[in-house]
Amino acid sequence: MKISLIDPLVVDDKKIEAHKKKLEELGHEFEYFKESAKSDDEIIKRLENSEVAMITNNKFSRNVIENTNLKLIDVAFTGVDHVDLKACDENNIIVENASGYSDDSVAELVIGLIISVMRKFDLNKKNMYEDENNNLLGQVIKGKKVGVVGTGKIGLRVIELLKAFGAEILAYNRSEKDKAKKLGAKYVSLEELLKESDIVTIHLPQNDETIGFIGQKELDLMKDKSILINCARGPIVDNNYLAKLLNEDKLRAGIDVFDMEPPIDKNYPLRNAKNAVLTNHIAFFTQEAMNIRCDIVFDNLYKFLNGEISNRVN
């Protein structure tokens, strides 16, 4: 079987070479690329005669899927909204992901963004270079109500960290999780969570049900000067309206994801908004997460070659 890793996994080459050697010893052909493909045509060319594609977070379109002979798409990412799952189903292609690889990395950036917004890192930095001391008064997490929207693995990890800071946790999810309750989270309606929380952090997947989930109505429910954190997916939030509220000093925000992948267009409202700390989709991007991700996707692969399916998403 021919296997193609068409995107770099950002780990030591020795790790990839070790897997290449093992796969060849098992009688398979393994090819990997050190730079991501720039177009559908380039992806299709890389996948010529391949039955397995190992990919990261670049778009994997119907055009690509229908011009290959794949049996498995092994996604080195948690979200798979960049893969045309309908086309995969129609072409009997199994899609697996690397769920869980960046739970700690994302959860820690959530805390970092909360602290950055509350301690006004972006604004206070300027005061280091001014003649007068105009330091801006900050806040602490302890005692604040934090609303966690989505209590999957990352949401639960965020709750654990927030409890260590002494926050009161409100939670919203389609189904209540015993672990969240044991950590002291109180499940409430989305409306109550938005109205009562000093900080709201989003941990939902992007799908047809969640695009625009936090829209104008929901944003208007939030407390004056409260903080919205989004390290999930950009389109879950109405970012144009969010930017409006930020510029009107009604909300504050820490944002790692947008309606497009960085670089962000100069005219994109969030890029120019006040009261926002922005990071360039780096929540998942740590050395530790990259190594865990590599281990998961190769484990998915070996199990598939052995007739087992794990982490299937379609």
For residue 255, give every residue at least 6 positions away whose Cβ sits within 8 Å of its Cβ, in sequence order, or none. 113, 228, 229, 230, 234, 239, 270, 276, 277, 278, 279
232 phi and psi, to 5 degrees? -100, -90
Q: Is 93 helix (H, G, I), strand (E, B) or coil?
A: coil
Q: Is 281 marked active-site?
A: yes
Which of 46, 203, 233, 293 is the catalytic position?
Answer: 233
d(CA 2, CA 52): 7
Q: Is 157 marked active-site?
A: no
Q: Structure tokens of 198?
A: 């000093």
31 vs 70, 121, 274, CA distance in Å?
Answer: 15, 44, 46
Which of 261, 288, 308, 312 is the catalytic position?
Answer: 261
311 phi and psi, to 5 degrees? 60, 35
Q: Structure tokens of 150?
A: 């989505």
d(CA 255, CA 271): 10
What letter represents residue 133's amino acid? N
220's enclosing H/E stretch is helix 216-221
215 phi and psi, to 5 degrees? -100, -165
Q: Is 174 marked active-site?
A: no
What letter represents residue 55's amino acid? I
Q: Structure tokens of 11?
A: 């780990």
Judged on CB neighbours under 10 Å (0-12, 13-18, 19+), 183 is middle
The candidate with the shortest Cα–Cα distance to 198, out of 273, 124, 148, is 148
Residues belonging to the active site: 233, 261, 281
